[in-house]
Structures are given as C-alpha cells and as structure tokens.
C-alpha cells in the first residue's frame, strides 16, 4: 500500500520515474484545462528539443580480459596490458514538453505553463535552453506559470521569496516585474492557483494536488515504487520517519 502524501510525493522525483511523471503532468493539465477554457482558448502541448553532451555510466561487466600466455606455437609470450575503465561523452537528444494556452480566434499565445525537469536546474545545455525560453516569455506579452516539483538543483532566478523544497511561480505579463510565488515544503499540500488569461476572462483554478494524484493513478506508479526504501533523491532521517508513519496510517484498519 502506498502512503497518502498531503502534498508532493518525493518518490516521484527519482530520475528513473521523472520523465514519465513530467509527461503525465503535462498531459493531465492539458486535458483538465481544455475541459474548462474552450472554446475561446486551447491548451496545446508543445515540445522543446535539444542535444546535450554528458558522461554516461558503463556496465559493471569488465570490458577487457587479461591473459598471461599465448598458446600458439612459434609465437612469443605476450602479456596483455590492463585497461582502466573510463567514461566518454555522448550526445543525447532531450525532449521537454510544456503547455501553451492559445486564443483560438487569433492563435496568440496567452500563457506558457512549464513543469521543470532536472536538466533545467543544473548546469548544461538544458538549463541554457530553458533560461533563454524563460526570458523570452518574460519579455513578451504572455503570462508564465512555472511549476518546480524538484528538491534538487538551483531554483530559477528571482528576487525575494523564501527557501522551500518546491515552488510555483505565476508571472502575469501586466504585473511584471512583480510575480506571485507559492513556496511549499514536503509535508505541505500543493497550492491551488488561478491560471492567468486575458483581462476580463474568468480564470480557471489549477488544483495541482488533484493533477498529481491523477497522474500517479493513470501511470500506476505505485507499482514502480518501494515505499519501504528511502526516496531518491534522499530526504532527511526525520522526513523518512514521517513517510513511514504515513505507511502505518495507510495500513491501519
């Protein structure tokens, strides 16, 4: 049985699961928004593609053999040198999906919704590409909603605010440089907030807790997680004890 987290499930931050979680969040958000913002607006799933050079791990299996003698006749005895196991850089293509809320009649992008990935928060091509896109949106007439559900990496650049495990930024084009920040921690519920649209239009509420729960259930992620083990990235000992107490509550009659 999986614990009932009041907010973010830290096990979903595991790099082996995050791409699936990210895709699910974007998909569920698009469907839930299109149910309430059409026919004037439409939530369209877009993607950002870039190549990133990185060092990758190698298998644990040895990649060389060592022999002391050559057994063929009339040949000198040869001892093979032993190679060090190293890693070499490879180029990896990355696709990151995001949402554009477009006005149907004009095709104008009214709001951009981004769910951050680990590569957006660590040095490398992913961060460079994302920062360029982010700044372009902030310099435009479009609103920006930035959802950061990752404890690792550096938070996106902004002045003010407080330290927190997670955060949501809502930057309205007509209020810049001021923006709304929703910081929250592991044991706190995910915030509900309004999706900014054109002035005068009714703005839908994004209930991120419901979106995350639906993503989790549709992908059957409970079958991919061992809640008896600490999450990756790790949490503090106190937080892991708290997670185990949630397990006990779930299992009690």
Higher pLDDT, residue 34 or 90: 34
To which residue do tokens 């999450």 refer? 231
Burial tier of 145 (Cβ tally within 10 Å: 0-12, 13-18, 19+): buried
Q: What is the mean pLDDT of the chain?
A: 88
pLDDT per position as a tens digit, 16-71: 999 999 999 999 999 999 999 999 999 999 988 887 665 554 333 333 333 344 44
Joined tokens for residue 209: 């807790």
Contacts 24+ apart (CB under 8 A), 20-27: 20/219, 20/221, 21/215, 21/219, 21/221, 22/96, 22/97, 22/115, 22/117, 23/97, 24/215, 24/216, 24/218, 24/219, 25/115, 25/147, 25/211, 25/212, 25/215, 26/97, 26/98, 26/99, 26/115, 27/215
């Amino acid at each position: 049985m999986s614990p009932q987290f009041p907010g973010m499930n830290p096990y979903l931050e595991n790099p082996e699961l995050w791409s699936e979680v990210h895709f699910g969040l974007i998909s569920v958000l698009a469907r839930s928004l299109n149910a309430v913002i059409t026919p004037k607006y439409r939530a369209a799933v877009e993607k950002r593609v870039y190549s990133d050079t990185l060092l990758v791990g190698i298998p644990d299996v040895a990649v060389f053999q060592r022999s002391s003698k050559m057994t063929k006749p009339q040949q000198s005895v040869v001892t093979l040198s032993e190679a060090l196991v190293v890693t070499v850089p490879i180029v990896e293509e990355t696709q990151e999906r995001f949402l554009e809320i477009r006005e149907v009649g004009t095709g104008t992008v009214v709001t951009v919704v981004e769910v951050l990935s680990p590569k957006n928060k660590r040095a490398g091509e992913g961060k460079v590409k994302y920062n360029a896109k982010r700044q372009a949106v902030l310099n435009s007439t479009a609103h920006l909603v930035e959802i950061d559900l990752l404890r690792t990496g550096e938070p996106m650049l902004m002045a003010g605010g407080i330290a927190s495990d997670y955060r949501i930024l809502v930057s309205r084009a007509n209020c810049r440089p001021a923006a709304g920040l929703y910081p929250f921690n592991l044991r706190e519920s995910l915030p509900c907030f309004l999706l900014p649209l054109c002035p005068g239009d009714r703005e839908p509420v994004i209930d991120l807790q419901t979106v995350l729960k639906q993503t989790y259930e549709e992908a059957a992620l409970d079958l991919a997680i061992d809640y008896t083990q600490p999450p990756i990235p790790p949490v503090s000992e106190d937080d892991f004890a708290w997670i185990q107490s949630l397990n006990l509550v779930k299992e009690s009659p």
